Amino acid sequence: MSLAIVQTLSENSLPPSSVAEDWRAGGFGLYLHWPFCQAKCPYCDFNSHVAGDVDQVRWRAVLLSEIARVATETPDRVLNTVFFGGGTPSLMDPDLVAAILDAVRAAWPLANDLEVTLEANPTSVEAGRFRGYRDAGVNRVSMGIQALNDSDLRRLGRLHSVAEARNAFAIARNVFDRVSFDLIYARQHQTRAAWRTELREAMAMAADHLSLYQLTIEPGTAFGRLANAGRLDGLPDDDRAADMYADTQEICGAAGLPAYEISNHARPGAESRHNLIYWRGGDYAGIGPGAHGRLTLGGTRYATQTPLAPAAWLERVERAGSGELPRQVLAPFDQAQEYLMMALRLREGAQIDRWDKLSGSVDILQKINGLDGLNVLHCHAGTLALTDRGRPVLNAVLRELLAEV
């Protein structure tokens, strides 16, 4: 099927003609990381910290200085998207969000349809700030609802109830044009039937975008430690997890929210434009502790990174005028691999001519032949995409495609 996916590249001039301009096919976005949470969730391996009092004045100064620094390096670029991620950015003072977005508007020419997303926890306190965020310029929220079942919410370490989440979601729908929420499934002791029921309830909430993640036990998290100790029971095996993935595709597809990415579903046109920049191999600046970026400057693509610890990042910016650790040059071939790895997550797939240019014409079609008969990939009109069968085994497909290239 073909999807009418919004164009993010229109304002960034012409389609890419060379490796140096490859990023233009994906667009340009800004990611801001707010690392603080009220509590750390047992499954979360993101860079988040529990801190009581945050010096929002100091943070404002440092964030604004970083925006100015990145802007001088990327003059005249049209900014397509801004994303406040975390941590819990809905703990930010709306005034701080406003100051940041003012600075952003001053720093770059903006796309006409600039998308500004903020991740929010669905509590009543945070819902109370929604209007402030909207007035600051946020036009999309992504809510971490995670489950529609109170006992599972507690088990996932969430501080909200289902009732509170539904309430916050209703407020968000009133305040913002675009609202997405996250659910985590393949949870402990969750049956297929229970998930199908829960997912249908989610469909009824009329969001235009859903991120549906299978619970992944990451090392270094509380769940990871429990699993290592053999004390995390009731997790589905791979076969049941595969069934639940298939159920998810079926129910969301029928409800008009097909997957446009492995775990992301949207009504056509309501895809996360910011995240599409990642998956389409665009450029993005990462600001904040532990934020990653990909920037093509002077024909060279760089991977940028900052220190994980909030205090270390603040001090680095204040002392050195930049929060970044030394930049890594991404060779075109690394870029090619990243592009394939990310773009194959999308239903629209990867463009073979971009792969060819970045990889120096490593013959991907020959690799595809090795997967012949498995019905995991299809190649059509210059794009390479996973089939329904291939999507749940993407890592295995990538191992084949990128083996010995």
Q: Which is nearer to other proteins, 176 or 284 (CB)?
A: 284
Interface residue with other proteins, options 165, 172, 175, 291 (CB under 8 A)? 291
Q: Which is nearer to other proteins, 6 or 341 (CB)?
A: 341
Q: How many CB atoms lie within 10 A of CB 317?
A: 23
Q: How many CB atoms lie within 10 A of CB 192?
A: 15
The least distance separating other proteins from the CB of residue 279, rounded to whole angstroms, comes to 8
Q: Of the ranges 60-68, 221-229, 332-340, 352-360, which one interacts with other proteins (CB under 8 A)?
A: 332-340
Q: Which is nearer to other proteins, 16 or 288 (CB)?
A: 288
Q: How many CB atoms lie within 10 A of CB 369?
A: 10
Applying the rule CB under 8 A, the residues between 4 and 43 that interact with other proteins are 31
Q: Does 262 bind other proteins (CB under 8 A)?
A: yes
The least distance separating other proteins from the CB of residue 154, rounded to whole angstroms, comes to 22
- Residue 177 parent element (H or E): none
The Cα–Cα gap between 306 and 315 comes to: 12
Q: Does 275 bind other proteins (CB under 8 A)?
A: yes
Question: Residues 288, 290, 292, 298: is their CA dihedral positive or negative?
Answer: positive
The least distance separating other proteins from the CB of residue 394, rounded to whole angstroms, comes to 4
Query: What tokens appear for 207 in the block?
Result: 């969001």
Interface residue with other proteins, options 60, 113, 213, 352 (CB under 8 A)? 213
Number of residues that bind other proteins (CB under 8 A): 46
Check residue 269 and report its DSSP letter.
T
Q: Does 383 bind other proteins (CB under 8 A)?
A: no
The SS3 of residue 340 is helix
Q: Does 322 bind other proteins (CB under 8 A)?
A: no
Q: CB–CB of 289/32 below 8 Å?
A: no
The least distance separating other proteins from the CB of residue 242, rounded to whole angstroms, comes to 4
Q: Does 399 bind other proteins (CB under 8 A)?
A: yes
Q: Does 217 bind other proteins (CB under 8 A)?
A: no
Residue type for 208, please? Answer: D
Q: Of the ranges 4-12, 115-123, 292-300, 353-361, which one interacts with other proteins (CB under 8 A)?
A: 292-300
Interface residue with other proteins, options 102, 334, 348, 356 (CB under 8 A)? 334
Question: Residues 164, 167, 171, 176: is their CA dihedral positive or negative?
Answer: positive
Q: Does 338 bind other proteins (CB under 8 A)?
A: yes
Using CA atoms in the order 286, 287, 288, 293, what is the torsion angle rounded to 10 degrees? 20
The least distance separating other proteins from the CB of residue 171, rounded to whole angstroms, comes to 26
In this structure, the strands spanning 292-297 and 49-50 are unpaired
Q: Does 392 bind other proteins (CB under 8 A)?
A: yes
The Cα–Cα gap between 203 and 108 comes to: 37
- Picking from 340, 352, 360, 337, the residue whose alpha carbon sits closest to that of residue 382 is 352
Q: Does 397 bind other proteins (CB under 8 A)?
A: yes
Helices 192-204, 238-254: axis angle to 10 degrees equals 30
Query: What tokens appear for 283 in the block?
Result: 């450029």
Where do contacts with other proteins occur on this chain (CB under 8 A)? 31, 46-47, 213-216, 238-239, 241-242, 245, 262-263, 275, 277-278, 284, 286, 290-294, 303, 305, 334, 337-338, 341-342, 345, 371, 374, 376, 391-399, 402-403
